Structure formats: structure tokens, C-alpha cells
Structure 1
Amino acid sequence: MNNVRHVLSSDLAFDGKNYSVDWTDLEEKLANPLTTLMIFCNPHNPIGKVWTKAEVQRVAQLCQKHHVVLLSDKIHGDLVRKGQGYTPAFSIEAKSNVIFLVSPSKTFNVAALHAATAIVPDENLRNIVNRGLNSDEVAEPNLLAILATIAAYEEGHGWLKALKQQLNENFAYVSHFIQENIPEIRVISGDATYLMWINVQKVANNSAELVEFLRKETGLIVSAGSVYRGNGQDFIRINLACPLAMVKDGMNRLAEGIRKYSK
């Protein structure tokens, strides 16, 4: 949008429990002769879904069929939870039209450094990307960002292992707490990220109103799903990248807030 582009949205289909790609709609959008690039988020934010190998390959094949560049955003790729398989777009065979985006910012909590990497296997496409990045003057990371990225990727394995263990505990706690104490809302099962997507449709008509109520009444700050379009107005998003004690406090506030809001 900042580059004066028109954005087409292919919303995911939701069956009440899980999300899936609307393949008919997606191909229709890709077949539009004005469509030149698709942004593919894997794992998906905000729902935390990890796309299967078959789904990743199908997206790539459709983009190649319709001569669309596939921009694969895997910023949450390091945060796939235990027991979940993960197929990054790196693994697909045809890469001539693919750009891969990676960053340590989510995994290692260094978003303030503005460090990210674009990996472009095809030389011709790489030259186009280089020209675009330099024209927009966004290809000049500072020294600290470069050193932090190297340190994170080379020495952060132990820290990442501990983080994922903590996230597994947090997700398990919240899922159980909501099921037992706030059954009128429901967790959408995700495979990755430190973000939990929660259906509040039975409590609120618009999550933005509920989020503001929670902030004022309980001091709990969560994200309104409405900013993610689609059926997001029925959801809130909670960040669980914190100590379990903080998660427990947040859940108590959420239960209190939902109880007050429902009166």
C-alpha cells in the first residue's frame, strides 16, 4: 500500500474450529492479470497455523502457474510447537519466483533492531529486489542489528529451546484455564507462534469493544482481532511470550473482565 499498490485479500475459510485456504478464491485472485505478488505467511499470524507440505506446494504451484511472485514470510518459523511438522517454502523445488523473508525479531525479541533478511534464489529476481530495497533505502541495517542477528542464530539454540518449553507450558495452562473457567470463549488450536487466537463471539459482537473494556476494567491489554479483517471481529489475540506467573495473572483478569462484560 505504501508503494501505491492495490491489495487483494483472499480470506481464509473458517468452519467454526479451524481455518483453511479458499482455493477457488485464491486462484481467482492469482489469475487476475494485475496480480504480481502474493504474501504467504507461514506460520500464519494471527491464527498460528502451520501450513502442510501439500498446502505450501499448492500455493507455490498456483503462483508459478499465474506468473506471480511468492513472498514467503516465515518470521514465526522458529516457534513451531513440539510435535508439529513444518514445511518452509525453502523446501519446494521451484524457487525461481520465490522470495523468502526471515528475521530474528520474533524468536529472540529483538524487533527494535529492525533486522531482517530477504533470501532470493533466482538471480534475476534478486536484482529486482536489491534495486527495490535500495531505492526505498531500507537495506542499511545498523552494526548492532547485524551483530545481534549473527549472535542469535549462532548462539541462541539453548535460549530458543527454553523459550519453546515455556511457551508449551503457557499454552497448555491457558487452554485448560479457559475451558474450565471461561467456557463461553474458545481457543482456536494453533501450531506455532507465541500468540493465542481466541473466539469471543458468544460474549461480544465486536472484539474491539471488549478489548477496550478489558483494558479499562482489569488492566489487561490484548489485541482486537478486528484489525486482521476477515472474521477477526469475533476474536482476540493474546501474547503468551512471558513468565507463567504473568500468564496466570492475565487469565484471572480475563475471567474477571469477561464476567463483568457479560452482565
Structure 2
Amino acid sequence: MTETTTARRVAIVTGGSRGIGREVALRLAAEGQAVVIAYAGNQADADATVAQITAEGGSALAVRADVADEKAVLALFDAAEQEFGGVDVVVNSAGLMILNTVADFDLDALDRMHRTNIRGTFVVNQQAARRVREGGAVINVSSSQTRIATPTYAAYAASKGAVEAISLILARELRGRDITVNAVAPGPVATDLFLNGKDEATIERFAKMNPLERLGSPEDVAAVVSFLAGPGRWINGQTIFANGGVA
């Protein structure tokens, strides 16, 4: 039987310097995993996250990597293997969110967002498929907007629909490898990515969408990711909607 403990496992967390990714990195490190934090440009936040993990007795490394750049992602996985001996868990939390109506959406912005959200997910998952060890887990971050379908979210939701498709098909392609692949689809979460540009009335409206009548926290989502990264071995090829009960 495959051991399911997270002790001495090694995790790569993209987008790990801020928001949901940061909380995932902190959670996995607290559970005993060595964590490689991939960041796009915010080295100060990435270094601060590493410093917090090491101050609390954990092991962590920050690596700059554009998730859509296959050479950078290759180097990211190389760094994890060289520093910690292998890769067991990959959490792809890196993403962009740009909002506008379909009629008014800037196509250059569309390409930029989809480069990170779709190509980036594909590139990270490609390396994960090649290099995650037996008993490992791949968790991609989607969005409940694939169901909620709020106006102005079409381009973003489309990119996250692709994330879910990649996750399901990769789970099936890894048959016989004892590696699970799932997506986690948060609802509105109180991160800079979500809060930026929204007034108080809009934030309150989103908070009331679920029966718990609050925004999610990064810790709420990190708890779900932690389960999938460790004991949740019988969940595979699924999208878990972590949104407090939004329909």
C-alpha cells in the first residue's frame, strides 16, 4: 500500500509568494513538506514566505519562474530535485485575472491572461507528468466562475475551464502511476487578486452569494489543497468547488 503521509514529501507551489499560493505553501510546510515556491516577479514576498517557513522549522526555496516558459519550468523542477531530492506534489496556483465584457475585452489582454492560465497550467502539468514520484499529487487552481458565470468573467472563466479539462485528462493519462490529479475551484476569496478594483458594495454582494455569507480565506482553500496533497488519495480527476456553497 502506498504511504499517504506528507512527511518528507517535496512540493512545488507556483504563485506561492502571495494569496492562495502563499497559504498553500505555508500549510504544506507546516505539515512537514519541503516547499519550492515559484514566483513570477515578486521576489520580496517569495523570500518573506521562505523566511517564515524556515523560521518555523520547515524547509523552503524560492525560484523565479514564468509558468508559461517551458525552460523556466524545467529549471524549477530541476531546482526542486537538486535541493530536496525529488518532487511529490505540484500545486499550480499561478494565474492572472483580467475582467471585461466579451464585447469590450482587449485581445492582447486575453492572450496575456490565457498564456499564464492555460499555457502555464499545461507547461507545469507537463513537467509534473514527467517527474512527480509515485504516490504524488497534482492540484491545479481553477475558479467557481466556471459555474457562477458572472458578467465580465467570460475570458477568465474560459481559461479556468481549460484548467479543469487539463486536470481531468491528465489524471486519466497517468493511469497506473499512482499519481492523482485534481482541480480546486475557489469561490470569491479575500486576496488582492479578487479585491483589486472592487468597491465595498461589490465585495459585499459577492460575500453574500454563499450560505455562509462571507468571502473565503486563502486558508480555507489551502485546507482543501492539503487534503488532496496528502490523505485524499481516492479523489482523482475531480474539480472540487471550495466556495462555501455557491450554487
Query: Which gives a bigger RCO, structure 1 or 2 (Cα 8 Å, sep 6+)?
Result: 2
Given the two structures, how large is their TM-score scaled by the length of structure 1?
A: 0.31
